[in-house]
């Protein structure tokens, strides 16, 4: 049985002071969330602060990226072992903003996911199509290619212990959400490609999830939780989403 997972992606938002308030708000309401696990993916520099603030709660911590390299002369990069040192459990990999603004290819995303997994992090591997790709009927081709790259590099055992996030690019930060049926179609497609371990893998939906639309998304058979951007910056919204789990 897959347990609902709700992950907040703070992106490049926050400050020490604002984060302390936000996490305190989330922690104070966390007892109302009975049926979901929660995680906060904060900017690198705040990971230790957030980890300390959620210590002894049902909330985990994750990063928004990881280096493909293990250590060495890679200025500005953050390794998987550093993330583990800061109490991270998860690492978001291949978010569409990394693919779009940092030129991350399907191959690099797959290699990062493998590095994270081998180091002991749980990769949250993001897949998603653009509006143009959807409108030209390419959804399964694009998602299939992104997933295939991860499967070739990681192998089935590693994917079975990872998390996949389907995030249609056109729904991220736009206020447009895929309908539950649109999302379920793609989640079902992804699961159909996962082979014998398919039922073990959590597949999250991401794209303008809010407390008002979480329950109908989570009611879909292959939607196992959410990756939440904007709404994760509001404690009540984030808790409202997790409480729908």
Q: Among all residues, which ones are annotated catalytic?
A: 95, 167
Give the whole-angstrom CA distance, residue 170 versus residue 133: 10
Angstrom distances, CA of residue 70 to CA of 86, 111, 185, 235: 16, 12, 37, 34
Instruction: Compute and round to an integer the Cα radius of gyration of the chain.
Output: 17
Print burial letters for 132-148: b (CB count within 10 Å at least 16), e (below 16): ebbeeeebbebbeebbe
167 binds ligand PEP (CB under 6 A): yes
Pairwise CA distance, residues 78 & 67, whole Å:
5
Report, in this order, helix, strand and coil percent for the chain, each rounded to 5. Answer: 50, 15, 35
Q: Which residue has the tokens 């926050």?
A: 14
User: Is 230 a binder of ligand PEP (CB under 6 A)?
Assistant: yes
DSSP-assigned letter for residue 2:
P
Is 229 one of the binding residues for ligand PEP (CB under 6 A)?
yes
Among 64-72, 112-120, 193-201, 224-232, the segment contacting ligand PEP (CB under 6 A): 224-232
Residue 241 touches ligand PEP, criterion: CB under 6 A: no
Nearer Cβ to ligand PEP (117/205): 205
Judged by CB under 6 A, the chain residues 66 through 95 that form the site for ligand PEP are none
Is residue 168 near ligand PEP by the rule CB under 6 A? no
Query: Is 9 an interacting residue with respect to ligand PEP (CB under 6 A)?
Result: yes
Shortest separation between residue 97's beta carbon and ligand PEP, angstroms:
7
Among the listed residues 76, 81, 84, 78, the one whose alpha carbon sits nearest the alpha carbon of residue 60: 84
Residue 206 as a binder of ligand PEP (CB under 6 A): the answer is yes
Q: 């191959």: which residue's tokens? A: 107
CB of 204 to ligand PEP, least distance (A): 9
Q: Which of 127, 228, 239, 243 lies at the binding interface for ligand PEP (CB under 6 A)? A: 228
* One residue of 22, 78, 150, 209 binding ligand PEP per CB under 6 A: 209
Q: What are the two backbone dihedrals, phi and then psi, of residue 148, each rounded to the nearest 5 degrees?
A: -60, -40
**Position 173 contacts ligand PEP (CB under 6 A):** yes
Instruction: Using CB under 6 A, pick the residue from 14, 94, 128, 207 that binds ligand PEP.
Output: 207
- Is 227 a binder of ligand PEP (CB under 6 A)? yes
Q: What's the chain's length in residues?
A: 245
Pick the closer one to ligand PEP by CB: 22 or 70: 22
Which positions touch ligand PEP (CB under 6 A)? 9, 167, 172-173, 206-209, 227-231
């Amino acid at each position: 049985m897959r347990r609902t997972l709700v992950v907040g992606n703070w992106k490049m938002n926050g400050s020490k002071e604002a984060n302390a308030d936000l996490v305190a708000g989330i922690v104070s309401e966390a007892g109302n969330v009975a049926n979901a696990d929660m995680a906060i993916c904060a900017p690198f520099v705040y990971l230790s602060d957030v980890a300390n603030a959620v210590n002894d709660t049902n909330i985990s911590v994750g990063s928004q990226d990881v280096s493909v390299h293990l250590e060495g002369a890679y200025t500005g990069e953050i390794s998987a072992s550093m993330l583990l040192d800061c109490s991270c459990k998860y690492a978001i990999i291949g978010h569409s903003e990394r693919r779009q603004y940092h030129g991350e290819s399907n191959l690099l995303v797959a290699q990062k996911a493998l590095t994270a997994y081998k180091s002991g992090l749980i990769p949250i591997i993001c897949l998603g199509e653009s509006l143009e790709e959807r409108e030209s009927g390419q959804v399964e081709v694009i998602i299939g290619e992104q997933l295939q790259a991860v499967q070739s590099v990681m192998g089935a055992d590693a994917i079975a212990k990872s998390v996949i996030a389907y995030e249609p690019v056109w729904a991220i930060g736009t206020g447009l959400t895929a309908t539950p049926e649109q999302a379920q179609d793609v989640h079902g497609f992804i699961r159909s490609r996962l082979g014998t371990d398919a039922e073990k893998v959590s597949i999250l939906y991401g794209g303008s999830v809010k407390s008002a639309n979480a329950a109908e998304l989570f009611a879909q058979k292959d939607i196992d939780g959410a990756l939440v951007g904007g709404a994760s910056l509001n404690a009540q919204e984030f808790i409202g989403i997790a409480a729908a789990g």
